[in-house]
């Protein structure tokens, strides 16, 4: 891409890059940080593909000043990051000022380079000592305490704040499929976790707003676009069930003051976790919604008793429609499907009263190595360009999208994939911590600088 479409010009459109605390910070045993469920999960054999952990990650905890300089050098004026709850709150619920100080120094650097922070309060690194994690209603109230504490200590420097990142992943990958921390495999538990996450979101918004009324507050979701494998009614129904789970579990409590009705009978004994008045809390008015988009999924009628509980079976993209040789996958195996961005955003705006939208994550795993000092990540360049074109088309059609954040600034700890999948526009050598800007970084820089 040589030139940005006019409606994505950084003059009137927010351009940023995104990261999250556990994936880049490291310094996990420094500054009084308490353990998080991801530290514990990494310590369990077999959980992380390359048996790695987040102890050092990108060493951003020590290198944050240089990293902010890098963000500025790339031409970004906005930076999305998350605050690690485990770094700023002690086990007795008191504030850890050393942790606050870290984020305050990060904000100083951003300010110095005139980069506007876009903070997320929870990007999955839940303090381990919160008993039973998201299965415990009390965790939602502890989240509200944490939100209040950030509002009090850092809030006047944070113009935009999201409560949660992708609660679907915390709830369903963490408590049903067991591939994310804490690694449970219980369907009813995951529905309960989803509810407590949404309760935490609502309580967090209330706690923040009662202290600071001017902050733009929202939540970040990863809405699902799920297509059926065939047009058979069983497959069509399965795709619907996947979308109910992934979308309605969160959009209903946010915008409709309803439980996701098709999931009610899956909740079993944990139905009672949902108490009268909860939906008034979850449906707080929002200033924005962040949407993360990477790919779509394909579903067919459930093919195992376990999947029968969920109502669908996912079909890996290389197996779905294997005859389509034009289908391209990223290195992590996700289908490249830019049209999905348009389809999913249109589905949402047609069905829900959404506030203004920010695309808070979009990007590709492209493991192209560094050769002679440069990294020609052509797949990522093409991926970003295709998605920018779709976003531009959405805006041209009248959709209120106000910003785009590329995932990610740096190669980092990609959860259960460890360091085996690289999403950065900047390459990180995890032995030396040397950062090298990839071709995608140069492409974005050229697009942004030419419009400043």
Binding site residues, ligand FCB, CB under 6 A: 20, 23, 165-166, 169, 222, 292, 361, 407, 414-415, 423
Residue 425 C-beta: closest distance to ligand FCB, Å: 13
Q: Please say which residue, 169 or 391, places its beta carbon nearer to ligand FCB.
A: 169
Residue 275 exposure: Cα atoms within 13 Å on the Cβ side = 5
- Residue 117 or 167 having the CB closest to ligand FCB: 167
Nearest distance, CB of residue 137 and ligand FCB, angstroms: 25
Residues across the chain: 452
In terms of DSSP bridges, do strands 357-361 and 288-292 run parallel, antiparallel, or are they unpaired? Answer: parallel
128 or 292: CB nearest ligand FCB = 292
Would you say 312 or 415 has its CB closer to ligand FCB? 415
Instruction: Please state the closest distance from residue 333 (CB atom) to ligand FCB, in A.
Output: 12
In whole angstroms, the minimum distance from the beta carbon of 318 to ligand FCB comes to 19
Taking the complex as a whole, the smallest distance from the CB of residue 53 to ligand FCB amounts, in Å, to: 15
Q: How near is the Cβ of 157 to ligand FCB at its closest, in Å?
A: 23
The residues that are catalytic are 166, 361
Nearer to ligand FCB, 123 or 142 (CB): 123
- Cβ proximity to ligand FCB, 191 vs 410, nearer residue: 410
């Amino acid at each position: 891409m040589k030139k940005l479409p006019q409606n994505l010009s950084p003059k009137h459109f927010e351009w940023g890059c995104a990261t999250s605390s556990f994936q880049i910070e490291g310094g996990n045993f420094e500054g009084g940080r308490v353990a998080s469920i991801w530290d514990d999960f990494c310590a369990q054999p077999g959980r992380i593909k390359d048996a790695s952990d987040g102890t050092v990650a990108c060493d951003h905890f020590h290198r944050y000043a240089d990293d902010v300089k890098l963000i500025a050098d790339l031409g970004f004026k906005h930076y999305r990051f998350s605050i690690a709850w485990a770094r700023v709150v002690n086990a007795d619920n008191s504030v850890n000022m050393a942790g606050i100080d870290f984020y305050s120094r990060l904000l100083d650097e951003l300010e110095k380079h005139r980069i506007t922070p876009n903070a997320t309060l929870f990007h999955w690194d839940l303090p381990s000592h919160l008993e039973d994690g998201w299965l415990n209603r009390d965790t939602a109230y502890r989240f509200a305490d944490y939100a209040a504490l950030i509002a009090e200590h850092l809030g006047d420097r944070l113009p935009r704040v999201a409560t949660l990142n992708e609660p679907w992943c915390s709830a369903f990958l963490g408590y049903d499929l067991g591939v994310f921390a804490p690694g449970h495999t219980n369907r009813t538990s995951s529905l309960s976790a989803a509810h407590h996450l949404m309760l935490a979101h609502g309580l967090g918004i209330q706690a923040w707003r009662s202290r600071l009324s001017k902050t733009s507050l929202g939540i970040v979701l990863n809405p699902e676009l799920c297509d059926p494998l065939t047009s058979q009614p069983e497959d069509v129904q399965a795709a619907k069930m996947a979308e109910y789970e992934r979308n309605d579990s969160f959009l209903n409590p946010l915008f409709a003051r309803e439980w996701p009705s098709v999931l009610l009978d899956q909740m079993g004994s944990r139905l009672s976790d949902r108490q009268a008045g909860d939906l008034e809390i979850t449906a707080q008015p929002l200033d924005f919604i962040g949407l993360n988009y990477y790919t779509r999924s394909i579903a067919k009628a459930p093919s195992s008793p376990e999947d029968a509980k969920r109502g669908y079976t996912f079909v890996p993209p290389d197996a779905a429609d294997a005859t389509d040789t034009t289908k391209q996958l990223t290195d992590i195996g996700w289908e490249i499907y830019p049209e999905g961005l348009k389809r999913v955003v249109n589905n949402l705006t047609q069905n829900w009263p959404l506030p203004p939208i920010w695309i808070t994550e979009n990007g590709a795993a492209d493991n192209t190595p560094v050769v002679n000092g440069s990294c020609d990540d052509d797949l990522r360049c093409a991926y970003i360009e295709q998605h920018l074109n779709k976003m531009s088309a959405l805006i041209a059609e009248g959709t209120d999208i106000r910003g785009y954040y590329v995932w990610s600034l740096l190669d980092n700890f990609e959860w259960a994939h460890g360091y085996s999948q690289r999403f950065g526009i900047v390459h990180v050598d995890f032995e030396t911590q040397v950062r090298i800007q990839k071709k995608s970084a140069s492409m974005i820089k050229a697009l942004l600088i030419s419009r400043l």
